[in-house]
Amino acid sequence: MTQSMHSVDESIALLNETGHTVDSVVILDFGSQYSQLITRRVREIGIYAELIAHDMTWEEVSRLNPKAVILSGGPASVYEDGAPQMPGWILEQNLPTLGICYGMQLIAHTMGGKVEPADHREYGPANLNVEPIGDAAQLFEGLPTMINVWMSHGDHISVLPDGFDILAWSANSPAAAMGNGRMVGIQFHPEVNHTDFGTDIIRNFLVNIAGCDTNWSAESFIDAALKDIRERVGDGRVLLGLSGGVDSSVAAALIHKAIGDQLTPVFVNNGLLRQGEAEVVQETFTKAFETNLVYVDASEQFLSKLRGVTDPEEKRKIIGETFVRVFEAEAEKAGPFQFLAQGTLYPDVIESATGKPGDSKTAVKIKTHHNVGGLPEDMQFKLLEPFRLLFKDEVRQVGRLLGVPEEIVERQPFPGPGLAVRLLGEITEPDLDLLRRADAIVREEIEAAGENQNVWQYFAVLLPVQSTGVMGDFRTYAKTCAVRAISSQDAMTADWARLPYEVLAKISNRIVNEVDGINRVVYDITSKPPATIEWE
C-alpha cells in the first residue's frame, strides 16, 4: 500500500522542534477558484498556511495549532439547503476569523445576521469606500479610504449580526466589509491581483488582529525538512525519481544534504521527453551534484503501454504506474530501497484533490497528477515528498539556499507525464517526432528573443485536428500545432503571455516550413482559470 511520508499536521510541529516558533493559519476551502491564491498570499507575507477541507474536525485541525482562520469564497448561497456551514470549533476556540465573499456571508448567517439575493449582482472591479470603526478598523490600517477591489457575488448582507460594524461599502454592497474586533468579513477578493492593497489587507488581519508573527521562511523549512528526512529514513535507502526539472532536482539536493549516499537518483527516459532532454538532464545533473545518477531508457515500455490510449486521465495513470514498475525493477538490481522520493508540489496535491486538503464536498478533481493520484496501490515503496506542501517559487528559494545552480533553479516547468499531456489523442512515435521538433522551435525562438525572462512556461501542443493548406503549388492536409506561453507566479493561476507579433510570426513560419506534417499554427490565449496550463 502506498504510504505518504508527509502528513498535514506534522509541518508546524517539525518546525517548532527545530527551534523555529512558527505561527500557522488555516484556510477553509468552500469551493472558490481563488482558495489556493489565499494560501499563497499568506505564505508570501511570511506566515505558514494550509488549505484544508471546510468540514475538518477540531481534532484534525488542532494539530496545526492555528492562530487564525480564513474562510474562502464559494459558489453556494449560505441560506440554501445543504450549503456548507461554518464549523462550530471556530467559535468554541474563539479564533480570529477573516471571511472572504462567501466566508463573510457565512459569518453573518452564523452570527444572526441576514443574507439575501442582491438586486444587482456584482462581478468585476468596484470602488471600495472605507469607513473604519472600532477595533476591526485595524483591517484597513495605513490604507487609502478609496480602494479598487474585485467583486464576485450575487448575494449580499441585508442585516448585520449584533455587535458588528460596517467597515466599508461599495455602490452595490452597503456592507462590503464588517467586523466586531476578532471576526471580520469582506465581500471582495483581496487575494487576486485586481484588488489594490489586497495583500496589505490580509497582512493587517493576520498581524494586527490575529497577532501572528511573520516567521515562515525557506530557511525554517529547510531546517525542519532535514530533520524530518533523517528521522523518517533512518538507516534506510531512498530512490529518487529524477525528471531533471526544478522540483525533483531541488528535492535531490535537499535529501542528499540530509542523508548523503543513502540517496540514489534515477532518471527514467519514458520516451516522452523533449528534444535533447535526456542528454541535457544527465550532463547538467552530473555536473551539479556529487551523486551517482542512474539512467534508464524505458521508452519502449512506456510507449507500448500507451498504445491506443486516448483518454488523458488514463494516460496519466498508466505513466504513473509504469514509472513505479521501472523504479521497482531498478530497486531489485541496486536495492533494497525502502523509500521513493518525488518532487510533488502543493498545486499537484490540490488539483488532484486526494486526501487533505481537497477531500471536502466542495472540492473538484481537476486532473490526476501521475505522482499523486496515478500511483498503484500495491507499490512497494513508502513515499518521501519533502515539497508536498510547497509552491513552485518556494521550491526555487529552497534550491538557491542549498546552492543548486541557477540553470536548474530557473528551468521552466516540465510535467512528469512529459509530452503525453501535450499530444492530444493517441500517442504515436511519428506524432511525438512532430511535436518534439515544433516544441524545439517554440523554445528556440522565445529564448532567442529574450522573452523567456518574462514567461513562466512556453511549449507546443499537437492537436488531433487536420486542416487544408497550400505550400507552393500543392494542397496539404496536415496537423495543427498550438503554441502555449503563460505568465504566472505559482501555476495556481496563469495568464497568457503577450508575446510580440514578430516572435509569434517567426515561430509559425519556422514550424510550417521545417516540420513536415504541420501546416497550421494557433496561439492559445486562455487564462487559468478557466483553462489549465497543460492541455490534458
Q: Which residues are catalytic?
A: 101, 189, 191
Residue with cell 507552393: 472
Q: Are 41 and 199 in contact (CB under 8 A)?
A: yes
Q: What angle do CA 41, 47, 50 make, to 5 degrees?
A: 70
Cell of 22: 512558527
Residue 111 in grid coordinates: 452570527
Would you state the cell numbers that stand for residue 528, as one nine-digit string?
487559468
Type of residue numbered 452: N
DSSP letter at 311 equals -
- What sign has the CA pseudo-torsion 191, 195, 197, 202? negative
> Cell 484556510 appears where?
27
CB atoms within 10 A of CB 366: 15
DSSP 8-state secondary structure symbol assigned to residue 427: -
Strand order of the β-sheet with 173-179 is 48-53, 24-29, 68-71, 97-100, 183-186, 173-179, 165-170, 114-130, 146-159
Q: How far apart are CA 122 and CA 138, in angstroms?
A: 26
Residue with cell 525562438: 445
Q: How far apart are CA 46 and CA 215, in angstroms?
A: 6
Q: Give the residue from 198, 197, 3, 229 showing the smallest Cα distance to 100.
A: 198
Chain centroid to Cα 261, Å, comes to 31
- What nine digits make up the cell of 276? 535533447
